[in-house]
């Protein structure tokens, strides 16, 4: 989707420029204006580019990986990657059990993205609901929500996640739900503040006077105008969830082996750190680029949707 919008817009741009400069900014629809800003934003384009590569790799994992990520071959243990003197049979080498590292990395991308997306989505739903309610109604509801936010902020995420995983046993589902239920605080805080701001505006009052029902006001007048904040927080929390999953897996309490997860790969490679450093570097670099691209994407979206908030 992102690719098609990119090409069609870049095709449009030159002819807009050729006609005596550009179409004046005030004649464009908000969406066209945003697109124009997006195309000039290098960070956003970079984030989008890296992100789409990782997403494509994750989706087409079976086509890219030549080996089964679970297939062990004890004869081919610890083969170095091709660029460190290995063979192209295993382009990124093999791990201590002789599993193909490329296959594990590619399938691991699925786990990371899945955890990031689902955990952030669950958090977004909880946090947005609480934040919008608190910001719109104020009063007691606001007090209650603020109380919940404070309680949540008083809990150290990693510790709680560790305790829950230790209680229920580690699995993909447990990790996703624990993270999803723990990362809503920032959504709630930001949505609350944004909603309070929008709620004061006169178009909300006008909608009420025109007889709009409460859900209609919320969905038509409030949500679209706080959406840009939501998207930004979503990307930040997605990156946060991915890092946390890696940390939990590294500690042995996240995704359980033999599932390929980047955190787990780093954890399994840590004993070889001094001798076979690529076992850690490869998933580490992958993780770095994924989180970086998500964060750049988020920052880019913030700049593009709300240019007045840029610093």
Partner 1 sequence: MTDPILTIRNLTVDLPEGGDRPHAVENLSVDIAPKEIVCIVGESGSGKSITSFTTMGLLPKALKPSSGEVIFEGRDVLKLSAREHAKLRGSRMAMIFQEPMSALNPCYTVGDQIEEMFEQHTSLSKAERKARTIRLLDEVQLPDPERIYSSYPHQLSGGQRQRIVIAIALALDPALLIADEPTTALDLSTQAQILHLFKELREKHSAGIMFVTHDFDVVAEIADKVVVMKQGVIVEQGTAEEVLNRPKHPYTRKLIDAVPRRTGSVNAHMAEKHKVMEVLDLNKTYHSKGTMFKPARTVHACKDVNFIVHRGETLGIVGESGSGKSTLVKCLIRLEDPDSGSVIIDGSDIAQFTPKLLHPYRKSIQIVFQDPYGSLNPRRTIGDQLVEGPCNFGENRAHAMERAKKLMKIVRLEEDALYRYPAQFSGGQRQRICIARALMVEPEVLIADEAVSALDVSVQKEVLKLLNEIRDEMGLTVLFITHDLRVAAQICDNLVVMQNGEIVERGTVDEVFGAPKHDYTRKLLSAQPGQGWVVPDIAKLPPVDPALLESPMGAF
The reply to whether 201 sits near partner 1 by the rule CB under 8 A is: yes
Q: Give the Cβ contact number of residue 39 at 10 Å.
A: 16
Give the CA count within 13 Å in the CB-facing half-sphere of 50.
Answer: 18
DSSP state of 87: -
| In the complex, least distance from residue 252 CB atom to partner 1, rounded to whole angstroms | 47
- Interface with partner 1, residue 56, by CB under 8 A: no
Check if the beta carbon of residue 260 is closer than 8 Å to that of residue 278.
no
205 binds partner 1 (CB under 8 A): yes
Nearer to partner 1, 22 or 42 (CB): 22
Q: What is the closest distance, in whole angstroms, from the C-beta atom of residue 223 to partner 1 in the complex?
A: 9
Hey, what are 241's tokens?
A: 């969830």
Is 19 near partner 1 (CB under 8 A)?
no
CB nearer partner 1, residue 14 or residue 24: 24
311 binds partner 1 (CB under 8 A): no
Using rule CB under 8 A, residue 20 touches partner 1: no
* Nearest CB to partner 1, comparing residues 56 and 205: 205
x-or-dash string of contact with partner 1, 154-193, rule CB under 8 A? ----------------------------------------
Contact between 143 and partner 1 per CB under 8 A: no
Per CB under 8 A, 270 contacts partner 1: no
Task: Answer yes or no: are the C-beta atoms of 36 and 296 closer than 8 Å.
Answer: no
Give the interface segment with partner 1, choosing from 42-50, 103-111, 122-130, 215-223 (CB under 8 A).
Answer: 215-223
**Residues 24, 85, 139, 215: which binds partner 1 (CB under 8 A)?**
24
Distance CA 189, CA 218 (A): 17
Select 268 or 303, whichever has its Cβ closest to partner 1: 303
Q: How far is the CB of 196 from partner 1 (least distance, A)?
A: 14
User: CB-based contacts of 214: which residues, under 8 Å, 6+ apart?
Assistant: none
Q: What backbone phi and psi angles, to 5 degrees, belong to 100?
A: -65, 125
Q: Does 16 bind partner 1 (CB under 8 A)?
A: no
Report if residue 40 touches partner 1, rule: CB under 8 A: no
Q: Which of 72, 73, 171, 225 binds partner 1 (CB under 8 A)?
A: 225
Alpha-carbon Rg for the chain, nearest whole angstrom, is 23
Which tokens sit at 248?
Answer: 């939990």
- Which candidate, 248, 264, 235, places its Cα nearest to that of 177? 248
Instruction: Please give the Cα distance from 311 to 307 (Å, whole number).
Output: 9
CA angle 183/187/189 to nearest 5° reads 110
Site of tokens 């001094």: 274
Residue 139 in contact with partner 1, rule: CB under 8 A:
no
Are 126 and 181 in contact by the 8 Å Cβ rule? The answer is yes
**Least distance to partner 1, CB of residue 206, Å:** 6
In the chain, DSSP assigns E strands to none
CA distance 163 to 253: 9
Q: How many chain residues are in contact with partner 1, going by CB under 8 A?
A: 27
Q: What are phi and psi of 94, to 5 degrees?
A: -130, 160
Between residues 28 and 50, which has the closer beta carbon with respect to partner 1?
28
Residues of this chain that interact with partner 1 (CB under 8 A) are 21-22, 24-30, 33, 201-203, 205-213, 216, 220-221, 224-225
């Amino acid at each position: 989707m992102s690719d098609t919008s990119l090409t069609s817009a870049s095709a449009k741009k030159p002819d807009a420029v050729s006609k005596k400069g550009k179409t004046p900014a005030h004649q464009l629809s908000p969406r066209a204006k945003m697109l124009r800003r997006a195309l000039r934003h290098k960070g956003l384009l970079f984030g989008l580019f890296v992100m789409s590569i990782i997403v494509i790799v994750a989706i087409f994992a079976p086509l890219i990986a030549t080996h089964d990520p679970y297939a062990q071959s004890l004869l081919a243990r610890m083969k170095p990657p091709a660029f460190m003197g290995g063979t192209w049979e295993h382009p990124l080498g093999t791990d201590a059990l002789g599993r193909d590292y490329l296959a594990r990395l590619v399938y691991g991308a699925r786990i990371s993205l899945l955890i990031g997306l689902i955990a952030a989505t669950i958090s977004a739903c909880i946090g947005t609901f609480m934040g919008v309610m608190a910001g719109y109604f104020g009063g007691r509801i606001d007090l209650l929500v603020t109380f919940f936010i404070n309680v949540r902020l008083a809990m150290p995420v990693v510790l709680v996640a560790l305790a829950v995983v230790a209680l229920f046993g580690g699995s993909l589902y447990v990790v996703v739900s624990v993270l999803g239920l723990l990362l809503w605080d920032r959504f709630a805080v930001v949505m609350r503040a944004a909603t309070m701001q929008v709620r004061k505006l006169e178009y909300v009052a006008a909608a009420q006077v025109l007889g709009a029902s409460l859900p209609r006001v919320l969905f038509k007048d409030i949500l679209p105008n706080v959406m840009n904040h939501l998207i930004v927080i979503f990307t930040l929390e997605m990156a946060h969830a991915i890092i946390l999953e890696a940390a939990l897996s590294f500690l042995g309490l996240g995704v359980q082996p033999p599932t390929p997860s980047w955190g787990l790969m780093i954890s399994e490679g840590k004993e070889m750190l001094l001798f076979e450093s690529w076992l850690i570097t490869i998933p580490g670099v992958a993780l770095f680029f994924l989180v970086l691209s998500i964060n750049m994407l988020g920052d880019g979206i913030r700049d593009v949707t709300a240019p007045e908030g840029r610093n």
